[in-house]
Chains A and B, each alone.
Chain A
Amino acid sequence: MQRLRSILHLRRARAFRPFASGGGRIVVAILTTFALMFTLSVVLSVLATEHSRGRAKVVEVAARQRTLAERYVEDVLLVQSGRRADPQALGEILRSSAEALLNGGVAPSVHGDDDETTLPAASGSALRGQLAQEVRLATDLTSMGSAILAHRPMSAVALTGGEHIEAADPVERLRVVAALTSNTSLNATTTIASNTDSNIAQLLTMQIALGVGGLLVSLLLAWGLIAATRRRTVHFRSLVNFSTDLVAVLGVGGCRYASRSLSALVGRPERELLRAGFDECVHEDDRAKVHAACATGSPRELGFRMLNSAGEWRHLEAHVTDLRSDRHVAGVVLNARDATERVLLERDLAQQAERDKFASQLIEALEMADDENGAYDVVERAMTDISPQTPMELLLSDSSRAHLERVATSPSAGAPACPVQSPFSCAAVRRGSAVVFDSSDALNACPKLRDRATGPCSAACVPVGFMGHALGVLHATGPDGAPPSAEAVEQLTTLATQAGARIGTVRAFEKTQLQAATDGLTGLPNRRTVQTKLRSMIKAGHAFALAIADLDEFKKLNDKFGHEAGDRALRLFAQACTSVLREGDLVGRWGGEEFVLSLSGLDAARGAAVAERVRVRLSESLGGGHPPFTVSFGVTDSRQSDTLEEIVQIADAALYESKAQGRDRVTVGAPGVELVDLEPASVDGHAEDPQAAEGELDGSSNLRSERRASERSHHGALHAAVDEDNPAPQGAEIR
Chain B
Amino acid sequence: MSVSEKDFHISAPTTLRAGEVTFTVHNEGPERHEFIVAHVGANALPLRTDGLTIDEEAIQKDEVGELEPGEPGAVRQLTLKLAPGRYVFFCNMAGHYLGGMRHEVVVQ
Q: A residues within 8 Å of B by Cβ? A: 126, 129-130, 132-133, 161-167, 172, 175-180, 182-184, 187, 190
Contacts and interface: CB of A to CB of B under 8 A. Distances in A.
Given A175-B52, A180-B99, A183-B96, A130 B31 contact: yes
A312 B29 CA distance: 102
Contacts of A129: 29-30, 72
B72 A176 contact: no
A164 B95 contact: no
A183 B8 contact: no
Contacts of A166: 98
29 contacts: A126-B71, A126-B72, A130-B72, A161-B7, A162-B7, A162-B8, A162-B9, A163-B99, A163-B100, A164-B8, A165-B99, A166-B98, A175-B51, A175-B52, A176-B52, A176-B95, A176-B99, A177-B95, A179-B98, A180-B96, A180-B99, A182-B94, A182-B95, A183-B93, A183-B95, A183-B96, A184-B31, A187-B31, A187-B32
A184 B6 CA distance: 13
A161 B96 CA distance: 12
B58 to A, nearest CB: 19
Interface string B43-69: 000000001100000000000000000
B94 A183 contact: yes
The main secondary structure of chain B at its interface with chain A is: loop
Nearest to A166: B98
A165 B8 CA distance: 10
A183 B72 contact: no
B51 A164 contact: no
A130 B95 contact: no
Nearest to B101: A164
Given A133-B7, A163-B8, A180-B8, A126 B30 contact: yes
Contacts of B95: 175-180, 182-183
A174 B6 CA distance: 21
Contacts of B7: 133, 161-162
A689 to B, nearest CB: 175
A164 B9 contact: yes
A165 B98 contact: yes
A133 B31 contact: yes
A465 to B, nearest CB: 130
A265 to B, nearest CB: 85
Interface residues of B, number: 20
Given A130-B31, A164-B9, A183-B93, 12 more contacts: A126-B72, A132-B30, A162-B8, A162-B9, A164-B100, A165-B99, A167-B98, A176-B98, A176-B99, A179-B95, A180-B8, A183-B31
A577 B95 CA distance: 185
Contacts of B93: 183
B34 to A, nearest CB: 11
> What are the nearest 4 A-B pairs in CB distance?
A164-B100, A179-B95, A129-B30, A180-B95
Contacts of A163: 8, 99-100
Which residue among B8, B9, B31 has the maximum number of chain A CB atoms within 10 Å of its CB? B31
Contacts, number: 67
A126 B73 CA distance: 8
A79 to B, nearest CB: 21
A196 to B, nearest CB: 16
A177 B95 CA distance: 7
A687 to B, nearest CB: 172
A652 to B, nearest CB: 172
Interface string B71-107: 1110000000000000000000111101110000000
A641 to B, nearest CB: 170
Nearest to B51: A175
Nearest to A162: B7
A133 B30 contact: yes
Nearest to A163: B99
A180 B30 CA distance: 12
A176 B30 CA distance: 18
A48 to B, nearest CB: 23
A125 to B, nearest CB: 8
A458 B93 CA distance: 133
A167 B52 CA distance: 11
Nearest to B53: A179
A179 to B, nearest CB: 3
B94 A164 contact: no
Contacts of B8: 161-164, 180
A163 B6 CA distance: 10
Contacts of B9: 162, 164
A7 B73 CA distance: 57
Nearest to B99: A163
Contacts of B32: 187, 190
A225 B94 CA distance: 65
Which residue among A130, A165, A176 has the maximum number of chain B CB atoms within 10 Å of its CB? A176
Given A126-B71, A161-B8, A162-B100, A179 B30 contact: no
B13 to A, nearest CB: 19
Nearest to B6: A162
Nearest to A161: B7
A146 B65 CA distance: 40
A164 B95 CA distance: 11
A190 B30 CA distance: 13
Which residue among A177, A180, A187 has the maximum number of chain B CB atoms within 10 Å of its CB? A180
A584 B105 CA distance: 184
A590 to B, nearest CB: 164
A184 B72 CA distance: 12
B60 to A, nearest CB: 23
B35 to A, nearest CB: 16
A176 B99 CA distance: 7
A179 B94 contact: yes
Interface in B8-43: 8-9, 29-32
B7 to A, nearest CB: 4
A133 B73 CA distance: 15
Contacts of B98: 165-167, 176, 179
Contact of A179 (B31, B52, B72): B52
Contacts of A172: 51
A594 B94 CA distance: 183
A132 B7 CA distance: 12
A183 B30 CA distance: 12
Nearest to B95: A179
A164 B96 CA distance: 9
A180 B100 CA distance: 11
B79 to A, nearest CB: 27
A179 B51 CA distance: 10
Contacts of A167: 98
B10 to A, nearest CB: 11
Contacts of B6: 162
A164 B99 contact: yes
Nearest to A131: B30
A184 B7 CA distance: 10
Nearest to A194: B71
Nearest to B50: A179
Contacts of A161: 7-8
